[in-house]
Structure 1
Amino acid sequence: MAPVLTARAFPRHPGVSGWVAMLSPRVPAQALDGRQTADVVVIGAGFAGLAAARRMFQLDPSLRILMLEAGQVGEGPAGRNSGFIIDLPHEVSADSLGSDQADHARRDIFNNRTALALVQDMAEEQGWGTEIFNPCGRYSIARGAKGDHHLQEYAAQLTALGEAHRLLSSAETAALTGSSAFSAALYTPGTALIQPAAFVRACADALQARRLRLHEQSPVRRITRQGAGWQVETAQGQVATGRVVLAVNGHAQSFGLLPGRLMHVFTYASLTRPFDPRRLGGARDWAATPALPMGTTLRRIAGADGDRLLVRSRYSYNPGLTVGEGALRRAGQLHDRKLASRFPALAGVGMDHRWGGAMALTWNSVPVVEEVEPGLWLAAGCNGVGATNATANGIVAGERALGVLSALGRDYAAAPPPKRIPPEPFATIGGKVALGWKEWRAGDE
């Protein structure tokens, strides 16, 4: 019997992403209609799918690539991201840097910078401004002694790795943020900041200029083996193709793939209304991840109508890939408290937008790029660093679909497979307990 993958659910996204709301309305590409053919079909126009298409065009500009996006480009998880393309290991750790850890860190740095290089090359080629792609670096920011300690330990690790960085005192951090609520910060220059919704839109538009056929509002219902190739079906159309790259991260499980291998987590963000920049001193464009994992991410965004602050915090375990309004409301209440405690000068500045975004994690934090059937490649497992890891996943998936094994691909091939998570209800109970403990450990960071 020919393999048939049928979608049991379609993506649902809680709230309206502030990144999308700040942009002009998009005129979506026409939905797939009728019968078409392609050399490769890429399913999903997020970081992974766009990176896969970009890499395949680099390797073979003559390819006929067709991309299907369930909604509009930018409205999915990629456009709900905080917008950090990070070159260094994401989490700061107080562990000593032994030889094994150093080798692992260097592999992570290589992989991250390979992803970043693909993106930077595209930004330079297209002439994007810093409002879309800004290679300005990032800060890790602390609120107290525990966070300070982690930043100091991480700085020592970066010194051992030969990586550039700078520790900021409390006074320097206040001068940056306009607030005395922070105790220290660590600056690293290699991260690029993006406006994620504008970025994925710009990527899709640039790839269309290179012969990509993009169809939005075209959720895939079925993928069926047909001879040596595949047929991909939506509500109104079908595509016959030799190869498929399924770049839908956690929604791979909606097609029955990776059962018991992915943990589904939502994270939440709120974006303030515009405020007069004179109300808050400091720099008008900066971004900071927390000193402790699971803490609070902050971004200040300068605009023509005033400045805004993005607050991202709170995580929930949702194996059904959906969250309710209650979860969004509770996360928003937490964001309001964090904004008030960090920026008292902005008292009375409310939130314009609140939203959630889905992540897919593997238990042993490995990415998943594999050929699940001949000619059907899967990219999943962003493991909480979506812009960077999903881009790397897409690069490897695109290369493998064309039979190419790069240095990045060899590193992926050497990784162990994703570990099986416990069966339900133990997975959900364990996931909620683990997230709650990590958030408690982060405290007010």
Structure 2
Amino acid sequence: MNGPITVDIAIIGGGFAGLSAARRISQLDLTARVAVLEAGVVGEGPAGANSGFIIDLPHEVSSDDFSGESEAKFRQSVLIQRSAVALATEMAAENGWGKDVFDPCGRYSVAMSADGDKHLQAYSGQLSKMGEAHRLLKTSEIEAVTGSKAFTSGLFTPGTVIIQPAAYIRGVADCLREPVSLFEQTPALSFERYGAGWLVKTPRGSVQAAKIVMANNGHAESFGFFRRRLLHVFTYASLTETFDPSRLAGERKWAATPALPMGTTVRRITTAGGDRILVRSRYSYNPGIEVSDTAIRRAGRLHDGKFTHRFPALGDVGMQYRWGGAMALTRNHVPAFGEIERDVFAACGCNGLGASNSTAAGIAAAELALGHESELGRVYRQLAAPTSLPPQPLTTIGAKLHLAYREWSAGAE
């Protein structure tokens, strides 16, 4: 951005939440002038570092977590996540995205222990009770999918969409049409009251807007919102170099989340030059919303062990890429959402599942900003506000201990 502009709505953040909000605004009001301000380049931030699951069902399949959920809460979660799937599906159909970008192939949850097997069986029972399609897989059946003898059972649910996250989020940006404008490398530095609306300042320009949508997740704190209410957590991933597909049996493309929370996510990806395996695991508390190369290397060593354990025949295949991605969690697991000042609307605090939760929050924030009523909006408005965190250093100590305990509880998973 160079110079001043005037719009109806300024959106701060060009990730899942911000671009989905822009898309929804343009659907509801073709004349609304919108400016999306992205500090970096679309696809190079947390959205592009996502593991690529737009999940349609509750993610944590632990029977302890799930057994206390009421049917209404389950349905609420499904509505939120399927709203994200619906928006993504709509754009894929409009733009003819291939399966290399958008693949409605479903996902597997995989177990590696008796505890994992038990949790999958319990979750299967809950899904049956809710009338949700799924299929339990025995050891031999999940081996036939993954080519790995390490998994003891699996559970398949058909509603998840698997995306190539950077290509997907850039595709969403490319869908935007006038009068929606996207400004990359244009961080919002601050905003202040300006007449009846707001003035957003950027390094080389400014945006006068009637309304603002905050879609910058943990960085909402940088503007003074949700202080001591957001936990800044990073998760890490490694991606192998390409290998000859004949070296690993099973299907050539699949995506699996762990049976136990905080376990290891694995994807097999098909490319023109061969196949790759993605391994995502390890969580760290980073209140500065930055991660060091040392932390990425440390997580990478863990990934190497998990990869070798699951795919011993590929022991000589190295990792070509490693990275960390930021999440913003709240203590009571609710989004940082709503009208936080007059005509300022937040779609932050994804609590993980950024592709699903942030997309849905962006949709709901757009509807709220335009006064549009929907079932999704009613669900979001009924959610509690994020609770405050303990004073430092108790938050840091507690967060690190909690993450370490959850990872330890996941065991081999």
Question: How would you bin the TM-score normalised by the shorter chain?
Answer: over 0.9
Q: Contact (CA 8 Å) 2:66, 2:123: kept in 1 or not? A: no
Deviation at 1:320, TM superposition (A): 1.4
Deviation at 1:97, TM superposition (A): 6.5
Q: Are 1:339 and 2:307 an aligned pair?
A: yes
Deviation at 1:274, TM superposition (A): 0.5
Deviation at 1:65, TM superposition (A): 0.9
State which drifts further: 196-205 or 320-329.
320-329
Partner of 1:149: 118
Alignment of 1:33-182 (within 5 A): 33-95=2-64, 101-182=70-151
Three-state SS of the structure 2 residue aligned to 1:52 is helix
Partner of 1:226: 194
Deviation at 1:295, TM superposition (A): 0.3
Three-state SS of the structure 1 residue aligned to 2:94 is helix
Three-state SS of the structure 2 residue aligned to 1:419 is coil
Partner of 2:222: 254
Q: Are 1:263 and 2:253 an aligned pair?
A: no
Deviations 1:104-143 (A, max 9, x none): 1111111111121111111111111111111110000011
Deviation at 1:36, TM superposition (A): 1.1
C-alpha distance in 1, partners of 2:300/2:226? 32
TM-score w.r.t. the length of structure 1 is 0.91
Deviation at 1:347, TM superposition (A): 1.5
Partner of 1:289: 257
Alignment of 1:343-354 (within 5 A): 343-354=311-322
Deviation at 1:95, TM superposition (A): 3.5
Q: Contact (CA 8 Å) 1:295, 1:313: kept in 2 or not? A: yes
Three-state SS of the structure 2 residue aligned to 1:417 is coil
| CA-based RMSD | 1.2
Look up the equivalent residue of 2:362 and give its one-letter code. Answer: G
Q: Contact (CA 8 Å) 2:62, 2:259: kept in 1 or not? A: no
Q: Are 1:402 and 2:394 an aligned pair?
A: no
Alignment of 1:176-191 (within 5 A): 176-191=145-160
C-alpha distance in 2, partners of 1:96/1:379? 25
C-alpha distance in 1, partners of 2:66/2:296? 38
Partner of 1:5: none
C-alpha distance in 2, partners of 1:180/1:411? 42
Deviation at 1:210, TM superposition (A): 4.6
C-alpha distance in 1, partners of 2:363/2:30? 15
Q: Contact (CA 8 Å) 2:338, 2:381: kept in 1 or not? A: no
TM-score w.r.t. the length of structure 2 is 0.98
Query: Matched residue pairs, number?
Result: 413
Deviations 1:361-392 (A, max 9, x none): 11111112222221111111101111100011
Deviation at 1:233, TM superposition (A): 1.2
Look up the equivalent residue of 2:278 and give its one-letter code. Answer: L
C-alpha distance in 2, partners of 1:45/1:198? 14
Q: Contact (CA 8 Å) 1:368, 1:393: kept in 2 or not? A: no
Look up the equivalent residue of 2:19 and give its one-letter code. Answer: L
Deviation at 1:102, TM superposition (A): 1.8
Of 347, 354, 365, 1:386 maps to: 354
C-alpha distance in 1, partners of 2:279/2:327? 17
Deviations 1:295-344 (A, max 9, x none): 00000000000000000000001111112222111000000111111101
Look up the equivalent residue of 1:409 and give its one-letter code. Answer: G
Of 200, 212, 221, 1:244 maps to: 212
Deviation at 1:212, TM superposition (A): 2.0
Runs of 4+ deviating beyond 6 Å: 96-99
Identity of aligned residues (%): 57
